[in-house]
Amino acid sequence: MRPFIFIFMSYKVFKFGGSSIKDISRIKNLCAILKNCKGEKIVVVISAMGKMTNALEAVFSHYVKDREGGLDALDKVVDEHMEIVKALELEEAVIERKLQSFIFDNLSMLETEKNKELIYDQIISLGELFSTTIIKAYLEKMELSASWMDVRNVILTDDTFRDGKVEMSITKNKISKKVNSYFKKSDFIITQGFIGKTDKGFTTTLGREGSDYTAAIFAYALDIEELTIWKDVPGILTADPRRFDNPILLDKISYREAIEMTYYGAKVIHPKTIQPIQNKNIRLQVRSFLDTEKTGTLIADPGGLTYPPIVVIQEGVILLQITSNDFSFVTTEHLSVIFSKMNQFRTKLCLMRNSAISFTLCINEVEDKQLDAFMKALGQGFSIEVHKELELITIRHYQQSLVDKLTTDKLVMFEETLKDTIQMAVKSIETLKEKKEI
Ligand code: ADP
Ligand code: ASP
Ligand code: MG
């Protein structure tokens, strides 16, 4: 009897962000990368093109003040996409009809809608729907076997618009069912990062830059061994190359290192990406779509790693110093008011320290009216000092010489050290624009 041969093909998940599809040469490059993977089954999670999400945020701001003006601004965004469609020599009428149908589906019921956060998500999500439609059409033209999948049919979220919380177990089941059925008819599944859907059928977004997180959700749901995120940098570096001249490429880093770096503002991957992959020990490879020979950075749990100093800088941080006027203590009751307000305003707490009569904290930017609400909620008897537009410098595995170098022309307003990590909220004496060596 002939032996029964069971061929198991494991799936892969790739993620391409805005910079990897910002123009036609980059789209062609993406296609070349996929061509090299012919015969494999890959879910390809894609963001909006270039800076289209920012353009859609501008459309939203316009729309909520003046609906017609907003729709005109949206037409311009469609035109920009159609220029790319034309340059790629795709079927313009067919694609334009599809883009318009996304607009109709998302916006037609908004005329009387009052919830601005809901409106935001219906507009902002269009970027990913547009980009994936164009890329799928291009891959097809290049004779790659690709299906387009509406990610909203598999990623279920709650109704926290702008920051949808994913219902993981339902999402996991939906993903494995749908993906298996799509892979029966094609090698590549092209789908959207960053967006999901509520059980009432409204589109949600998962937080700016959230496409990396979507890719991690797919990797988790499909139980794959490795996720690849393609970037315009060689991998994870010891600092942002846009700000520093000679950062070093980190070949391997642990999940812990990656989550700490990204939480404090290393914009290379979204901080939410790490948790789902860590839970299943899925390796994450961050590599360059511009130099495909190199493998980049592996994020896993290899153990025994040592690191050079890693610098992360987050801009637009606010320092609040809350002090009681009559020397009464700052109690846990006051702290709970502060934390619940922060939760309500969805602002992130970066650093904090309390003393008998004061509480100092660093948070991500909030509006002035929200600061006023903090004060009102605290009640009489407290004064608040606000320092805006600070930078939060985090140096992991720090050396004092580097701390001195990075703070020479800065005023350090607040400093915390924990083990080998130092964090400083600093104000530029003269805003540092030129690059420094690290
Ligand atoms: P995407 O195309 O997926 O949206 P992003 O532009 O969001 O990609 O992320 C890549 C960028 O992250 C790089 O161009 C780089 O400037 C920035 N970055 C910030 N910190 C780091 C770091 N430590 N290592 C590598 N890149 C970093
Ligand atoms: N397009 C979205 C954004 O710019 C999501 C992403 O790119 O990850 O925030
Ligand atoms: Mg991005």
Neighbour tally for 43: CB within 10 Å: 27
pLDDT band at 309 (very low <50, low <70, confident <90, very high): very high
Q: Which atom of ligand 1 sits closest to the CA of residue 20?
A: 2
Task: Choose one of 230, 268, 285, 312 to mutate for the ligand 1 pocket test, by most ligand atoms within 8 angstroms of C-beta.
Answer: 268
276 lines ligand 2 (CB under 6 A): no
19 lines ligand 1 (CB under 6 A): yes
Query: Each residue of 234-248: pLDDT tens digit?
Result: 999 999 999 999 999
Q: Name which residue leads in pLDDT, 354 or 201.
A: 201
For residue 175, which amino acid is it?
I
Q: How far is the CA of 324 from the centre of ligand 3 (A)?
A: 42
Would you list the domain boundaries of the chain?
A: 11-224, 310-434
Same topology, domains 11-224 and 310-434? Answer is no
Is the pLDDT confidence value at 387 over 50? yes
pLDDT at 432: 47
Query: Each residue of 77-130: pLDDT tens digit?
Result: 999 999 999 999 999 999 999 999 999 999 998 988 999 999 999 999 999 999
Q: Which atom of ligand 1 sits closest to the CA of residue 241?
A: 16
The overall average pLDDT reported for the chain is 93
Is the pLDDT confidence value at 16 over 50? yes
Is the pLDDT confidence value at 298 over 90? yes
Give CA–CA dist 277/254, Å, rounded: 12
Is the pLDDT confidence value at 377 over 80? no
268 lines ligand 1 (CB under 6 A): yes
48 lines ligand 2 (CB under 6 A): yes
pLDDT at 33: 98
Q: How far is the CA of 4 from the centre of ligand 3 (A)?
A: 46
**Token pair belonging to 391:** 């930078």
User: Beta-strand (E) ranges in 102-214?
Assistant: 146-149, 188-192, 195-197, 203-205
Lowest mean pLDDT across 178-192, 208-222, 289-303, 331-345: 331-345
Identify which of 287, 313, 312, 314 has the alpha carbon closest to the alpha carbon of residue 299.
287
For residue 112, which amino acid is it?
T
pLDDT at 46: 98
Query: Each residue of 185-197: pLDDT tens digit?
Result: 999 999 999 999 9
Residue 254: what are its φ and ψ, rounded to 5°? -85, 165
Shortest-distance Cα residue to atom 3 of ligand 2: 209
Task: Choose one of 45, 47, 49 to mutate for the ligand 2 pocket test, by most ligand atoms within 8 angstroms of C-beta.
Answer: 47
Nearest ligand atom owner, CA of 308:
1
Is the pLDDT confidence value at 436 over 60? no
pLDDT band at 435 (very low <50, low <70, confident <90, very high): low
Q: Which atom of ligand 1 sits closest to the CA of residue 15?
A: 3
How far is the CA of 404 from the CAs of 41, 238, 246, 412, 416, in angstroms? 50, 17, 18, 11, 15
Is the pLDDT confidence value at 371 over 90? no
Identify the CATH number of the domain defined by range 11-224: 3.40.1160.10
Q: Tell if the pTM clears 0.75, that is, is over it.
A: yes
Across the range 152-178, mean pLDDT stands at 97
Across the range 335-360, mean pLDDT stands at 85
CATH architecture of the domain formed by 310-434: 2-Layer Sandwich (3.30)
For residue 36, which amino acid is it?
N
pLDDT at 8: 54
Q: Which atom of ligand 2 sits closest to the CA of residue 214?
A: 8
Give CA–CA dist 432/436, Å, rounded: 9
CA angle, 312 then 314 then 320, to 5° = 130
Q: Which atom of ligand 1 sits closest to the CA of residue 286?
A: 25
pLDDT at 437: 58
Task: Choose one of 77, 192, 211 to mutate for the ligand 2 pocket test, by most ligand atoms within 8 angstroms of C-beta.
Answer: 211
pLDDT at 9: 67
Give CA–CA dist 327/198, Å, rounded: 48
288 lines ligand 1 (CB under 6 A): no
Is the pLDDT confidence value at 231 over 80? yes
